[in-house]
Amino acid sequence: MQDFSGEEQEWLVAVDAAEAGSRLDVALARAVPVYSRNRLKDLILAGAVTINGVAVTLPKYSLKEGDEILLLAPEPVDADPEPENIPLDILYEDDQLIVINKPVGMVVHPAPGNYTGTLVNALLYHCGDSLKGIGGVKRPGIVHRLDKDTSGVMLAAKTEHAHNHLAAQFADHGRTGPLHRAYLAWAWGRTQQARGTVEAPLGRDPANRLKQAIRKDGREAITHYTVEARFGDEGWDITRIKCALETGRTHQIRVHMANIGHPLVSDLLYATGFATKVNRLPEVPKAAIAALGRQALHAAELGFEHPTTGEEMFFEAPLPADLQALEDALEPYNLAYPR
């Protein structure tokens, strides 16, 4: 069993003869005592567990000798999060779920260094008595996450039923259901193709625990991209792309685009070798990028099946001010239009 500290922890458990036949949640509770069995059940339902590389969302799954369990989970937090009166940009809400447009800079879960001011704190205050409880506790059910510095549409469940139903959709990655996730990204350079797919497994970078990397032993990761606009002039090119996720790994789009030679604009983690390219830009786009201070990435679209009505729902989050400023600054250099 291995424990890697940081934003997330990876727990690798090898099932021996003594554990063969045990329930998945029971065996994990014995192997990973920092989490309660109820918390582990929630993580399993949310798609945080794979067995032999395949996602398993059934807590009572019967283990076999030789199974290799991988649990990828947020670092445990001792204190219960407190409700905080933090304004939310709500796109939709009913008695089962809430859809919000997450701002730049907001952390989703309380964690060391960010116990307050998170989306969970805000949802606890806003939803109040409308939270029916997840795992017997009145709390929002977070079924997916966005990085602190990624803006855009996010979904949370208010009830145990909604949480389980939505978590199963995310675990399936939309392969057999209506789940749809699309991001807008501004990347350096001009892609050779108007559309393409990046399929490369991801795991924690052994040289830097804050980064993800392409690894043969990593988790399956697939990103489909389509070019929406190309901007440029002598000495520089920037491409606006739409990325549709077939899987949802940490930093997936950022790593995949960097891997094909087109890291995201202003990505301070994965585009360090492109920092000098900013100096080739005209003053207005250069200033817009300097003002970003974060990766040019926005969760623009989210579609899913409603957990009680079965209705296919679709939401779009408008660009935040900083990315709209970047788009406006680049538009005079749109290569689709003669100048």
Active site residues: 147
Which has the closest alpha carbon to 74: 24, 148, 124?
Answer: 148
In angstroms, the CA 23 to CA 191 distance is 47
In angstroms, the CA 180 to CA 178 distance is 6
String of DSSP letters for 120-161? HHHHHHHHGGG--BBTTB---EE-----TT-EEEEEEESBHH
Other Cβ atoms within 10 Å of 118 Cβ, number: 21
Q: What phi and psi, each to the nearest 5 degrees, are found at residue 333?
A: -110, 20
Rg of the chain in Å (alpha carbons): 21
Strand positions, DSSP E, the chain: 8-14, 49-51, 54-55, 68-74, 90-93, 97-102, 141-142, 151-157, 180-188, 195-199, 202-204, 212-214, 222-233, 236-245, 297-305, 312-316
SS3 269: coil
Q: CA 257 from chain center: how many Å?
A: 15
Q: Do 139 and 145 meet the contact criterion of CB atoms below 8 Å apart?
A: no
Which has the closest alpha carbon to 238: 273, 278, 268?
Answer: 278
Q: Do 293 and 259 meet the contact criterion of CB atoms below 8 Å apart?
A: no
